[in-house]
Amino acid sequence: MIFQQGDSSHVAVRSALESRELRTARARGWLTLTSGSGDRLLQRWQRECEQLAQPFAVVRMEPQRATLWFILREDQEWTPSQQEQVRSMLAGATGCVVQANSACAFAKHGAEHALMKRLLTAAPGPNSHATLQHQPD
């Protein structure tokens, strides 16, 4: 019984932490994964992004850097010109890969927030192509 009680308590704490992380992600526009984040949290964020028709944006904090993933909705794409603008928005990041519907890159710790904010400005509106302008942080 004690093991089960402790187990259910752990689940409740984890669920509360995931809920807090999702609230923060909603406010920011991206989910930040840490070593304590689980697959369930990532799956919940993905479902939520699909339901809200917003880009799937994730930052994964690693010991030496942050990995950024930014995936547009299924019905959105960047034009080749917009892809070039996204590449320029990621100046300062390394390992950048920009495609018609996604971007990923590695950032130094501390730079990930500014880069994700830039990427969020690059997402097309629901019924139009994005107009990309590099905005200062």
Model confidence band, residue 110 (pLDDT cutoffs 50, 70, 90): very high
Question: Considering the entire predicted model, what is its pTM?
Answer: 0.81
Burial of 68: CB neighbours in 10 Å, binned 0-12, 13-18, 19+: buried
d(CA 27, CA 4) in angstroms, rounded, equals 35
- Say yes or no to pLDDT of 6 above 70: no
Show me where the domains of the chain are located: 2-121
pLDDT number for residue 17: 86
- Say yes or no to pLDDT of 26 above 90: yes
pLDDT number for residue 124: 83
pLDDT number for residue 10: 60
The CATH code that applies to domain 2-121 is 3.10.310
pLDDT number for residue 132: 46
Percentage of the chain exceeding pLDDT 90: 72
